[in-house]
Amino acid sequence: MISENVKNILNNVDAARAASYYSNQPISILAVTKYVDADLAREVMENGITNIAENRTELFLDKYEKLKDLDLTWHLIGSLQRRKVKDVINLVDYFHALDSMKLAGEIEKRATHRIKCFLEVNVSGEASKHGFQPNELQEVLPEFEKFNNIEIVGLMTMAPFTATEDECATIFKTLKKLQVEVSNQNLKNVSCKELSMGMSRDYQIAIREGATFVRIGHEFFKGVDLKY
């Protein structure tokens, strides 16, 4: 079942990329394994996926311990409480939810090497969503020039659950535009070449709009009893 799901996702990603203006960009497919235990997560990875993502510190640490024999790239994608930064940040290859300068300060303090981070941007303006407002970016970005342990590799966003396909496309286009603007500023520690956007229901739209990292959960586990 999982091997079928993986095959379908790979096919869908290829098709969406081929239909995209950005068709020559590499795309990292993240398997979001928060719904399943380490054994099912392992099954996904053994079918050729190499990027694993968790949204909570506890789940991240559990999978990290149980799957450390595999050669994986580790992503933390959910909001991170400042008091938990020290437990996890040095194990993470990419952190996708940098949403405040206070959190950035804590990462700078606790990291023992440069951590690749995405700035989370609240493009939709939904009150329940984390992230910087688009118009805050110009103000906060220069602050990253003073850090030694943070590299802003890109921007991340989530579309609202109720958004239509057109609304998702508009949100993803806006994030793409912001990413290009930021990247063109050539600020120190802010390369900002990547875009983390798209989940199970909207990753094909996100890829058409230039996503380079898609975060896919449910779609990997269709037909499987979910644990969480």
Binding mask 146-185 for ligand PLP (x = CB under 6 A): ----------------------------------------
CA dihedral over 50, 56, 57, 62, signed as positive or negative: negative
Query: Is residue 216 involved in binding ligand PLP (CB under 6 A)?
Result: yes
Nearer to ligand PLP, 85 or 189 (CB): 85
Residue 21, burial from CB neighbour count under 10 angstroms (0-12, 13-18, 19+) = exposed
Binders of ligand PLP: how many residues, by CB under 6 A?
12
Query: Is residue 218 involved in binding ligand PLP (CB under 6 A)?
Result: yes
Query: Is residue 2 involved in binding ligand PLP (CB under 6 A)?
Result: no
Query: Is residue 200 involved in binding ligand PLP (CB under 6 A)?
Result: yes
Task: Report d(CA 209, CA 81) in Å as an integer.
Answer: 31
Query: Is residue 25 involved in binding ligand PLP (CB under 6 A)?
Result: no
Nearer to ligand PLP, 66 or 218 (CB): 218
Closest Cα partner for 109 from 89, 133, 79, 131?
89
Binding mask 54-83 for ligand PLP (x = CB under 6 A): -x---------------------xx-----
Task: Report d(CA 7, CA 20) in Å as an integer.
Answer: 20
At its nearest, how many Å lie between ligand PLP and the CB of residue 158? 6
Q: Alpha helices of 33-150 — where are they, by DSSP H? A: 38-46, 57-66, 85-88, 101-110, 137-140
Q: Is the Cβ–Cβ distance between 195 and 210 less than 8 Å?
A: yes
